[in-house]
């Protein structure tokens, strides 16, 4: 199952609104110690309309699938959609046993996949490496159950706890190794979100610029109540290549909205709030458009609003070498990093070094 989960991560950020499922077909189980287990088929969810992971794995296995065991990270589907049910495909291929990471909360599945398999005489074992599988599919599960995506916050803080200096624009805090990791992270999320303040100050591209991974850039999302995103910004100029969505208030200037739309930007209108755009309203709007995994990158105000709304599910927190000195901007609009790291709802998921920089990963204790 661990191998199936690792395989499934290849599809993260590429197959939304579907979950990225990993499937392995293993022959030789239950045939005695000398038979030897061997992987005869592999599959990952294709883009919408393409084959699901189970079908791809069965195709690669061919006749070797008969009598074999299928390891699947998420409960196989049991309904007809763009593709036939995967549970039926497993049965028809002669799979003897199916091992499942976690169940699918989608009401169209939700145990029906297991029932279809068992009724056909297939042995089913569910809940193997369940916690890892649930984290893998957390974006899908949350979109189904809470109509919002999984939210990951990325922050880079200086040695003295700042994220920038007022009026200085973008400040380099981390080195090339950490920045490369961030670009790789972007490729694993469906969308990346910043506030309009970050765009006006830094004019970012928000793309994945690792060699050979330009096509893996996520949808770029800007919280922008008044639709102020400049038509000359890098985001708008690149909207034909990588989608740009602006979440604006119903009270935004219609001419600005029309201009952005004409430049290839999708403008999503939502009810505004006193602070601008309510983050819960924003993530709900994104989930309605299929986003399952959201990376939040920018701005102390945006970070604070997501923290206060209880929407941060995981965090990648980089600490660089520079010190920004007195008056530095704190990560959460006047509050230090401890506002997140000392919260009892998170656990330490890991630490690592990337060049001279340190990375701390936090994850919600219950997901």
Who contacts 233 (Cβ-Cβ below 8 Å, separation ≥6)?
199, 203
Annotated binding site: 52, 77, 86, 156, 186, 198, 202, 206, 209, 297, 299-305
Q: Can 1-140 and 149-364 be said to share one CATH topology?
A: no
Q: Phi and psi at residue 12, in whole multiples of 5°? A: -60, 135
Checking DSSP bridges between strand 357-364 and strand 314-319, what pairing results, if any?
Answer: antiparallel
The Cα–Cα gap between 298 and 316 comes to 13
> Would you state the pLDDT for residue 35?
57
Three-state secondary-structure class, residue 200: helix
Please give the pLDDT value at position 81: 66
CA distances from 196 to 247, 252, 261, 270 (A): 10, 13, 17, 16
The three-state secondary structure class of 24 is strand
Which residue stretches of the chain have pLDDT < 50?
31-34
Q: How far apart are the C-alpha atoms of 66 and 95, rounded to whole Å?
A: 5
- Summarize pLDDT for 267-313 with one digit per residue, the tens: 999 998 888 899 999 999 999 999 999 999 978 999 999 999 999 99
Residues in the chain: 367
Chain Cα centroid distance, residue 322: 30
CATH of domain 1-140: 3.40.140.10
Tell me what pLDDT residue 112 has. 84
- Give the model's pLDDT for residue 134: 95
Residue ranges of the binding site for NADP(+): 156, 198, 202, 299-305
What residues form the annotated binding site for Zn(2+)?
A: 52, 77, 86
What does the pLDDT read at residue 28?
83
Annotated domain spans of the chain: 1-140, 149-364
What is the 8-class DSSP label of residue 37? -
Catalytic residue numbers, as ranges: 54
pLDDT at 90: 94
pTM: 0.93
Residue 63: per-residue pLDDT: 93
pLDDT for position 324:
85
List the binding residues for substrate.
186, 206, 209, 297
Strands 293-298 and 244-249 come out as: unpaired
Q: Domain 149-364: state its class.
A: alpha beta
Nearest to 283 by CA among 142, 85, 105: 142
CA 4 to chain centre: 18
HSE-up of residue 104 (Cα within 13 Å, Cβ side)? 26
Per-residue confidence (pLDDT) for residue 65, from 0 to 100: 93
């Amino acid at each position: 199952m661990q191998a199936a989960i690792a395989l499934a991560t290849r599809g993260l950020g590429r197959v939304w609104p579907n979950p990225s499922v990993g499937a392995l077909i293993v022959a030789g189980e239950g045939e005695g110690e000398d038979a030897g287990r061997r992987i005869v088929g592999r599959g990952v969810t294709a883009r919408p309309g393409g084959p699901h992971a189970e079908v791809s794995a069965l195709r690669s296995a061919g006749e070797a699938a008969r009598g074999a065991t299928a390891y699947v990270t998420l409960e196989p589907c049991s309904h007809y959609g763009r593709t036939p049910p995967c549970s039926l495909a497993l049965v028809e291929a002669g799979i003897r046993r199916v091992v499942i990471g976690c169940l699918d909360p989608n009401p169209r599945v939700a145990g029906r996949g297991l029932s279809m398999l068992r009724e056909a005489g297939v042995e089913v074992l569910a809940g193997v490496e369940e916690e890892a599988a649930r984290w893998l599919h957390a974006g899908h599960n949350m979109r189904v159950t809470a109509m919002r995506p999984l939210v990951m916050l990325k922050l880079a803080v200086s040695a003295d706890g700042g994220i920038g200096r007022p009026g200085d624009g973008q400040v380099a805090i981390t080195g090339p190794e950490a920045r490369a990791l961030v670009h790789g992270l972007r490729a694993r999320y469906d969308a990346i979100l910043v506030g309009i303040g970050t765009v006006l100050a830094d004019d970012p591209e928000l793309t994945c610029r690792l060699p050979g991974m330009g096509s893996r850039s996520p949808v770029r999302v800007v919280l922008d109540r008044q639709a102020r995103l400049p038509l000359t910004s890098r985001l708008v100029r690149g909207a034909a290549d990588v989608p740009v969505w602006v979440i604006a208030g119903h009270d935004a200037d219609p001419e600005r909205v029309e201009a952005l739309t004409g430049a290839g930007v999708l403008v999503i209108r939502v009810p505004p709030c006193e602070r601008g755009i309510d983050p819960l309203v924003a993530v709900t709007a994104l989930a309605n458009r299929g986003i399952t995994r959201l990376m939040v990158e920018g701005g102390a105000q945006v970070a604070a609003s997501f923290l206060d709304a209880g929407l941060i599910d995981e965090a990648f927190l980089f600490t660089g070498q520079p010190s920004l000195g007195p008056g530095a901007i704190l990560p959460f609009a006047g509050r230090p990093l401890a506002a997140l790291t000392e919260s009892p709802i998170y656990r330490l998921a890991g630490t690592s070094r990337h060049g001279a920089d340190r990375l701390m990963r936090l994850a919600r204790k219950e997901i």
